[in-house]
Structure 1
Amino acid sequence: MLDKLQAIEDRYSELENLISDPTVIANMAEWQKHTKAHSKLTPLITKFREYKEVLQSLQDTQELLQEKLDDDLREMAELELVDLKQREETLTQELRILLLPRDPNDDKSVIVEIRGGAGGDEAALFAGDLFRMYTRYAENRGWRTELLEANAPDLGGFKEVIFVVDGDGAYSRLKYESGVHRVQRVPTTESSGRIHTSTVTVAVLPEAEEVDVSINPNDLKIDTYCASGAGGQHVNKTESAVRITHLPSGIVVTCQDEKSQLKNRDKAMRVLRAKLLEAAEAEQKADVAEARKSQVGTGDRSERIRTYNFPQGRVTDHRIGLTLHKLDFVLNGDLDELIQALITADQGERLKQAE
């Protein structure tokens, strides 16, 4: 591990020289490329340099203990040695985690799809709660959200809502939200006070750039039609809504959120690119349909990654067995404790596989 870290530090020093070189600075594209690479390595190198300082202190303290010392000084040195060994173990683990291969999509923005599953109107209402939760979380982290498509029933919430979360590292954190979310609560329409169980499916897709996915215009069938539902005077009067069918894959995306047909087409293409990227990456691992099923399941009540229990005010993530009694905070976008626990569990699993 030390040899690998030293080689990375050498590269880091090389990048430091490059980004301060006037000839490189004159080429903005090249300078930005090196600056980005330097920035990505900074956390690892900072930790590695701290590790080397601890190793040096360990060596110095061990050498000191070989000398003839009075009792008080020896006791202090022995206590310091215990502390340094603990720090060395902690830093070794942190460095191993930082050396794990990164998901190439981690820095990307995401397209989030939320759909009501089992439970009818109550599922739609909870889909609205999750949409609010994620937009609040994005706001807390300084990320921008943009609505792409929404199907809102009269009672409220969403049968389906698709939106973009635009921010550095959005996928690295939100990717753990994919799956079936189960809610247990008394619906507002329930007169007897009986608790209902409903589900909502969430899919989180890394947003694909044009360079990530090549789309042949001849493979697209583009239809326009009048928008329906809430939307103002343009509804049912102008053909502003857009439906794009990718003929080779059969993927269909629609957008009617904007009054402009051009804007709807642009938004629909963003969703299509993300879906095609997801399909291409899934093909490398398994059958595309199976990969999709593993992400969001069927929406059945028995399939779930997380349960939101309103009567008890708790949230349980079943993948890691974590229960938090702070439901209101979570639904207001306070997701960091949950997500960080999932990241830690994922890192632990990958460390086991790397051994």
Structure 2
Amino acid sequence: MSEVANERIDALESRLAEVEGYLHVEEARGTVAELERQSAESGFWDDANAARETMAKLARAKEDVAGIDAAHAKLEDARAAWELGQEMEDKDLLAECEANLDSLEHDLSELELASWFTGEFDGGDAIVNITPGQGGLEAQDWCSMLLHMYLRYCERRGWKVTINDAPAAEQIGIDRATITVSGKNAYGMLRAEQGVHRLVRISPTDAKKRRQTTFAGVEVLPVLPDDIEVEIDPGEVRVDVYHASGPGGQGVNTTDSAVRVTHLPTGIVVTCQNERSQIQNKATCMQILRSKLYELELQKRAEALDELRGPKTEIGFGNQIRSYVLYPYQMVKDLRTGCETGNVDAVLSDGDLDPFVVAYHRWVVGGKEPASIADEDQ
């Protein structure tokens, strides 16, 4: 084991050097010094918006530097534990070395992933919309399953989630869902989920227990920074209010707190019932509408399909990006990358999506071919 650990130390040292290059760490150290100098100047907060933007840049640069510094510390700890363990023939120290290397490997994977997010909005927050497609009542149940999967995934990554709208369907599942995800690289990570998701299972609503194929669409949009201007004519917006219901509706059937905003020229409809206040729900609706209109403008300008949303396709057969098969066998497979697993519960119940997300971004940047997820329990 000790020789293997030594080889891992050398390999991870080389990998760490590569990651430093990806992240331009020395440049980031200079950025930290310069932004700290700016933030210490008198009058820095006179322009509050500019100051907040500068402080956000400073925080991101510090985070990159801190991540690399922490990785170097773990590498040195692992090397010291290995050398001392070899000298003293201490199995506990050698085990400590292995544990440090495992932790370092995970950290480097996270740093590598972050280095791929170079888009304007990749590092920021995301809006996720889940819409039922072909499959009738089953599609509404499938939407609720996907919502649970994404909530667990966000929890695993330590992201904050606000459920803006997720009204219960009349019989099973939900009519739709809109959530806002706040956290580092939330949009960059979650845009891997953009597209049609297909479920194959024995129908829970069919007395004859026949196999059913169901579809749901997932749309991922960036939360636009305040400095991105999107003009919305108040005269082109209709605002309706109604009783809140379902998840997030604290004032269910007591106040007209839920808000529906319709942009008349485009027909875009946004709803929110998360807050008790109409004013807060309307503000959230307008934020989501801004993102949708910004994306629409990009599509008008672009000759090719824009990067924010990908192709607009029917939420049904032949358009899926990923299949979740529960019967006659169990398998989740991404049709873009070939990444797959037989541990369906880990994906749907526990939100273990990182292997699919990482494989997607490797596929996008043209890096290593994505390998299938190891499945020891299959």
The alignment's TM-score, normalised by the length of structure 1, stands at 0.72
Q: Which amino acid aligns with 1:109?
A: D
Counterpart CA distance in 1 for 2:34 and 2:197 is 48
Instruction: Find 1:112's aligned residue among 124, 128, 131.
Output: 128
Counterpart CA distance in 2 for 1:43 and 1:307 is 38
Counterpart CA distance in 2 for 1:329 and 1:104 is 32
- Whether the aligned pair in 2 keeps the contact of 1:209 and 1:273 (CA below 8 Å) is no
In structure 2, do the counterparts of structure 1 residues 254 and 43 end up closer, same or farther at CA, with 3 Å as the change threshold? same
Give the corresponding residue for 1:338.
356
Structure 2 residue 225 is matched with structure 1 residue 202: no
Structure 2 residue 330 is matched with structure 1 residue 307: no
Structure 2 residue 348 is matched with structure 1 residue 325: no
Structure 2 residue 306 is matched with structure 1 residue 283: no
Give the corresponding residue for 1:167.
183
In structure 2, do the counterparts of structure 1 residues 341 and 10 end up closer, same or farther at CA, with 3 Å as the change threshold? closer
Give the corresponding residue for 1:123.
139
Structure 2 residue 288 is matched with structure 1 residue 265: no
- Whether the aligned pair in 1 keeps the contact of 2:29 and 2:65 (CA below 8 Å) is no
Structure 1 segments (4+ residues) deviating >6 Å: 43-46, 95-101, 290-293
Give the corresponding residue for 1:75.
none
Name the SS of the counterpart of 1:305 in structure 2.
Answer: strand
Deviation at 1:98, TM superposition (A): 8.5
- Whether the aligned pair in 1 keeps the contact of 2:161 and 2:179 (CA below 8 Å) is yes
1:210-249 alignment runs, 5 A limit: 210-227=226-243, 229-230=245-246, 235=253, 238-249=255-266
In structure 2, do the counterparts of structure 1 residues 216 and 99 end up closer, same or farther at CA, with 3 Å as the change threshold? closer
Structure 2 residue 370 is matched with structure 1 residue 347: no
In structure 2, do the counterparts of structure 1 residues 142 and 193 end up closer, same or farther at CA, with 3 Å as the change threshold? same
Deviation at 1:220, TM superposition (A): 4.1
Deviation at 1:201, TM superposition (A): 0.6
- Whether the aligned pair in 2 keeps the contact of 1:222 and 1:242 (CA below 8 Å) is no
Deviation at 1:140, TM superposition (A): 0.7
Deviation at 1:340, TM superposition (A): 1.0
The alignment's TM-score, normalised by the length of structure 2, stands at 0.68
Counterpart CA distance in 2 for 1:167 and 1:33 is 13
Deviation at 1:243, TM superposition (A): 2.7
Of residues 243-252 and 180-189 in structure 1, the stretch that sits farther from structure 2 once superposed is 243-252
- Whether the aligned pair in 2 keeps the contact of 1:97 and 1:347 (CA below 8 Å) is no
Counterpart CA distance in 1 for 2:241 and 2:368 is 48
Determine which structure has more spread, i.e. the larger CA radius of gyration.
1
Q: Which amino acid aligns with 2:333?
A: T
Deviation at 1:188, TM superposition (A): 1.2
Deviation at 1:40, TM superposition (A): 6.9
Q: Deviations over 1:166-225 (max 9, x none)?
A: 111101111010111000000112222321111011101111133213334534423233
Of residues 317-326 and 135-144 in structure 1, the stretch that sits farther from structure 2 once superposed is 317-326
Identical amino acids, percent of aligned pairs: 29
Give the corresponding residue for 1:139.
155
Counterpart CA distance in 2 for 1:12 and 1:227 is 50
- Whether the aligned pair in 1 keeps the contact of 2:261 and 2:271 (CA below 8 Å) is yes
Q: Which amino acid aligns with 1:336?
A: D
Q: Which amino acid aligns with 2:158?
A: G
Corresponding residue pairs, total:
303
Counterpart CA distance in 2 for 1:256 and 1:96 is 38
Counterpart CA distance in 2 for 1:331 and 1:9 is 37
Q: Which amino acid aligns with 1:340?
A: V
Of residues 186-195 and 255-264 in structure 1, the stretch that sits farther from structure 2 once superposed is 255-264
In structure 2, do the counterparts of structure 1 residues 106 and 245 end up closer, same or farther at CA, with 3 Å as the change threshold? same
- Whether the aligned pair in 1 keeps the contact of 2:230 and 2:294 (CA below 8 Å) is no
In structure 2, do the counterparts of structure 1 residues 153 and 294 end up closer, same or farther at CA, with 3 Å as the change threshold? same
Give the corresponding residue for 2:58.
35
**Structure 1 residue runs without a partner (length 5+):** 50-94
Give the corresponding residue for 1:274.
291
In structure 2, do the counterparts of structure 1 residues 22 and 158 end up closer, same or farther at CA, with 3 Å as the change threshold? closer
**Structure 2 residue runs without a partner (length 5+):** 1-17, 46-50, 73-110, 370-378
- Whether the aligned pair in 2 keeps the contact of 1:178 and 1:295 (CA below 8 Å) is no
Counterpart CA distance in 2 for 1:225 and 1:159 is 18
In structure 2, do the counterparts of structure 1 residues 39 and 347 end up closer, same or farther at CA, with 3 Å as the change threshold? farther
Q: Which amino acid aligns with 1:35?
A: L
Alignment root-mean-square deviation, CA: 3.9
Q: Deviations over 1:131-188 (max 9, x none)?
A: 0000000011110111112232132311211111111110111101011100000011
Deviation at 1:248, TM superposition (A): 4.7
Q: Which amino acid aligns with 1:127?
A: C
